[in-house]
A = this chain, B = another copy of it.
């Protein structure tokens, strides 16, 4: 058997991983030709691309290969959902050193497959090249199903901003990993904590960080409900709502009382305090934490929102400082994530 992708070779690796990827009704031509062919039923295609780089976006000691595959797929498929579209297809480029274990490449492919299956999409193509570090480049395609796209620039004063999905958990999970807590056994070793049956609740923060579960179906739902602006919350709620504020020329005022932390987040914050690494509060993590992959959307005030959409902010006329985000009426320092800085 081959133990590294260098021994297996480019074509062997491609053959091996593409064998995992099932077709869906959207796949006209899958991997193996110069290009793939995917359905675009309403004569428009939604497309987005993202890169994940080892040590910047994931660490092999913190996340399994399957985790990385799921996350790489999820963050792109979430961008498709954030336009109000149904994800249809994924293309994946893998740059990796020749000594990468074949098992790791298998795990990555399995993660990509599983997340696509969860979102209703299919892996239709890709590329593999040798490189000094691992980079996973993912492109996702989607179908708007005849609905208008939900962009960032349509919010109007008076609209209600609602969120669906988790806020703050991924940030707390990241801090736990930085503190050496990758599971219940680490907490037992470091703090002598005994896990309750079924595991401690804060494990959900590690899960959300390693394998975010974007609420894909809520994207098209928001479009059906008449959402006027929407985005994927990936760089922190305040920073991302700032994109809607500036694109729409409005103010967005977050009501902090509406940001009720999940028990898992509160447990993780308490554990971080016990570890002597308190860092941000639960509320700060919900406002500024990254990689949530929740959806935030501005709806007309009369919209009858399903319970999964939690109102958290109001759209207002822009304040004296121009379009931007406030929290409880006061200026919020941007503390989201930006590359290169």
Q: Besides the contacts A34-B82, A34-B232, what 7 more A-B pairs have beta carbons closer than 8 Å?
A: A6-B341, A9-B338, A28-B149, A35-B48, A36-B48, A39-B45, A47-B89
Docked Cα-Cα span, A37 to B232, in Å, equals 16
Q: Is the CB of B340 within 8 A of A142?
A: no
Which segment of A109-117, A132-140, A309-317 sits at the interface?
A132-140
How many Å from the CB of A13 to the closest CB on chain B? 7
Docked Cα-Cα span, A44 to B216, in Å, equals 23
The 4 closest A-B pairs by CB, nearest first: A40-B40, A137-B137, A35-B48, A10-B339
Residues from chain B with Cβ under 8 Å of A83 in the complex: 33-35, 37
Known: A89-B47, A130-B56. A8 touches B95 (CB 8 A): no
How many Å from the CB of A44 to the closest CB on chain B? 5
Q: How many copies, total?
A: 2
Q: Is the CB of A125 within 8 A of B339?
A: no
A51 is an interface residue with CB less than 8 A from chain B: yes
Question: Which chain B residue lies CB-closest to A98?
Answer: B340
Question: Which chain B residue lies CB-closest to A124?
Answer: B47
Q: Is the CB of A339 within 8 A of B129?
A: yes
A91 is an interface residue with CB less than 8 A from chain B: yes
Known: A91-B49, A131-B135. A142 touches B35 (CB 8 A): yes
A57 is an interface residue with CB less than 8 A from chain B: yes
Question: Which chain B residue lies CB-closest to A57?
Answer: B129
Docked Cα-Cα span, A80 to B125, in Å, equals 13
**A interface list, Cβ under 8 A from B:** 5-6, 8-11, 13, 28-29, 32-53, 56-57, 79-80, 82-83, 85, 89, 91-95, 98, 124-133, 135, 137, 139-142, 144, 149, 151-152, 230-232, 247, 338-341
How many Å from the CB of A340 to the closest CB on chain B? 5
Question: Which chain B residue lies CB-closest to A100?
Answer: B340
Most chain-B CB neighbours within 10 Å: which of A48, A52, A85, A247?
A48
Known: A34-B82, A149-B37. A49 touches B125 (CB 8 A): yes
